[in-house]
Structure 1
Amino acid sequence: MAQRIKRKRTVRTRPSKQFGKKWVIVFTFLFIATALLFVFRFREGFLYYLGFKTDKYTSETTSDERKLTDIRIYEVLHKHDQNAIGFDVSEYQGTIDWEQTYHIDEAFELSFVFIRATAGSNKRDARFTENWNGAKARQLVCGAYHYYRPNENSLDQANNFIKQVRLQKGDLPPVLDIEKLPKSQSIARLKIGLRRWLEVVEAHYNVKPIIYSGERYYSDFLRKEFSDYPLWIANYNFWRNTLASDWEFWQFTENAQIGGIEGNVDLNIFMGDKNELLALGMRY
């Protein structure tokens, strides 16, 4: 008779309840620590938010994402309460009631605005004249910007801007907005085109233009050749709340809400106060 071989059964052990409780405690601790760090990091923003928002919006009408956006906006503005604050617009904002664009929630004064004038070699912003005149009547310090299209002739683009924009004493220097990479030319050719636009515009207005771009784009493609130009940098990093030392202007959010403008708006901080902003303006 064949002898039966007894097979050992593998006994699977379950994690002890004690082990599971330890992980619950660890995760709870990490969650609380993260929450406290967040509150401490944006403590001024919380105070401003509670002071200016809770009496206007309820939790039913304000999403959590909107609340977090407002908290960061207030935090950044509070840290720069001595700096000039402004915004930028184009035809995409529609009709603007400029008489309502004085403050952010009656707490932070708006001092300047950048207005899109042109794009590419032949595009004129449909509301440029309307916005320019409205901002001037509102007595904002005004600047005009050109949206650069990498695959179009740079000299035609410069002449398009010059044809549409007449700057006066006190206006901000012209702005070159570069955000896209070329599809039909090299980066080297793009840089040649940007240099030509900047030189033609500088010769016409007798002032060095400002370069606007995203921080990563500027660092990756422009810093080496264009570091001698004033910078207007877009950086929406939630955890950042101060300007870098080499930024003239910082566009820190695209989700601000300003009276007189429907929808969200870009908000910007100048590196100095309003008097220094006025000193930056055109001198002729």
Structure 2
Amino acid sequence: MKSPPRKRTVPRKSKKKSSFMGKLRPVLTGFLVLFIIFAVGYHYRNGLAYYLGYKSDKVLKKNAEKQRLSDVRNYQILTKFEFNPVGIDVSEYQGTIVWDSVRVIENRFPIRFVFVRATVGMDRPDKKFAENWHALHTKSFVRGAYHYYRPNENSTQQAELFIKNVVLKKGDLPPVLDIEQLPTKQSLKQLKVGLKNWLQLVEAHYGIKPVVYSGANFYTQFLKEDFQGYTFWIANYNFFVENMQSDWRFWQFTEKASILGIEGSVDVNIFNGTEAELQSLTLGR
């Protein structure tokens, strides 16, 4: 008769060692958090220095203007691309804009171009388009008009609405198609057919290839492969993205900038090229 096997004794953890590690863990976590804060602070040191100095030195004197500061990342990126043309885009959501006051971003970076929303879907112009478009005609900015595309609506009617409301002149930027959402009443394949139809109709009317605007993920997943040959304007607000991809002709890097003359937040864009290259995109060049 075999004797039952002995149970293996599991060594117990030392209470002293466990207690020591328990005390050490929050200390290490604290050091890690401090290191991350220091690293981020060092990376954005120029923006932080500007922000703190500008806030204490100037903003308190400009309360009547109700001008907000952009976040530190905005200043950091604008500084990095200070030799690239910088622009904004606006719509009815910015209300009535005092264009005589719109000149620079963060009191340093001159605005070179402005995109204005012209139409939405197949049924209405932007409420402030006519006013903004006319005002920009007398300013030194290079101007451009864009259409907000509704993926469930007829593409031909959307193109006709844009053409009816937008008169482009020599020196204006190409028309822009803004597509950000997937359809709920048709397939992705049908959406792409509609987008190409809009682009072809608008190009035939104005004699220039339109620009396509979209978010970075939407562009990568649904547009990049099937719309090669078009100029792309890409929105990417990721805090840790600080460089443009080579196929981003325009980069909308923030939607939270503050500009004198405009109430509320404003989108800011950087052109991936020189001033001369920006001019070469315009009509009549």
Tell me if TM exceeds 0.5. Answer: yes
SS where residue 226 of structure 2 aligns?
helix
AA at the equivalent of 2:219: Y
**CA offset digits 1:229-249 (Å, max 9, x no partner):** 100000000011121111110
**CA offset digits 1:180-211 (Å, max 9, x no partner):** 11111000000000000001111111111000
1:53 aligns with 2:52: no
AA at the equivalent of 1:279: S
- CA shift for structure 1 position 14: 8.1
Quote the residue 1:21 is aligned against. Answer: 23
Within 5 Å, which residues of 2 pair with 1:169-180?
Answer: 169-180=170-181
- Distance in 2, Cα, partners of 1:41 & 1:228: 36
Quote the residue 1:163 is aligned against. Answer: 164
Quote the residue 2:214 is aligned against. Answer: 213
Identify the range of structure 1 (48-57 vs 205-214) with the bigger mean alpha-carbon deviation. 48-57
AA at the equivalent of 2:99: W
Quote the residue 1:274 is aligned against. Answer: 275
Quote the residue 2:114 is aligned against. Answer: 113
SS where residue 260 of structure 1 aligns?
coil
- Distance in 1, Cα, partners of 2:55 & 2:273: 28
- CA shift for structure 1 position 79: 0.4
Quote the residue 2:231 is aligned against. Answer: 230
Quote the residue 1:189 is aligned against. Answer: 190
- CA shift for structure 1 position 48: 2.7
**Coordinate RMSD, CA, aligned:** 2.2
AA at the equivalent of 2:207: N
**CA offset digits 1:30-79 (Å, max 9, x no partner):** 11210122023222322332343332347xx9xxxx87x51000001000
- Distance in 2, Cα, partners of 1:258 & 1:134: 17
Quote the residue 2:42 is aligned against. Answer: 40
Structure 1 residue runs of 4 or more that deviate by more than 3 Å after TM superposition: 12-17
- CA shift for structure 1 position 17: 4.8
SS where residue 54 of structure 1 aligns?
helix
- CA shift for structure 1 position 145: 0.1
Quote the residue 1:7 is aligned against. Answer: none
- Distance in 1, Cα, partners of 2:244 & 2:184: 32
- Number of paired residues? 268
**Residues 242, 180 of structure 1: CA spacing in aligned structure 2 closer, same or farther, 3 A cutoff?**
same
AA at the equivalent of 1:79: K
- CA shift for structure 1 position 16: 5.3
Sequence identity (%):
50
Q: Is the 8 A contact 1:79 1:242 kept in 2?
A: no
- CA shift for structure 1 position 15: 7.1
- CA shift for structure 1 position 129: 1.0
1:199 aligns with 2:200: yes
- Distance in 2, Cα, partners of 1:80 & 1:121: 37
**Which consecutive unaligned segments of at least 5 residues does structure 2 have?**
1-11
SS where residue 232 of structure 1 aligns?
strand
- Distance in 2, Cα, partners of 1:201 & 1:172: 13
- CA shift for structure 1 position 13: 5.2
- CA shift for structure 1 position 81: 0.2
1:93 aligns with 2:84: no
Q: Is the 8 A contact 1:52 1:105 kept in 2?
A: no
AA at the equivalent of 2:142: V
Identify the range of structure 1 (155-164 vs 27-36) with the bigger mean alpha-carbon deviation. 27-36
Q: TM-score, normalised on structure 1? A: 0.88
**CA offset digits 1:102-130 (Å, max 9, x no partner):** 01132111111100001111211111110
**Which consecutive unaligned segments of at least 5 residues does structure 1 have?**
1-9
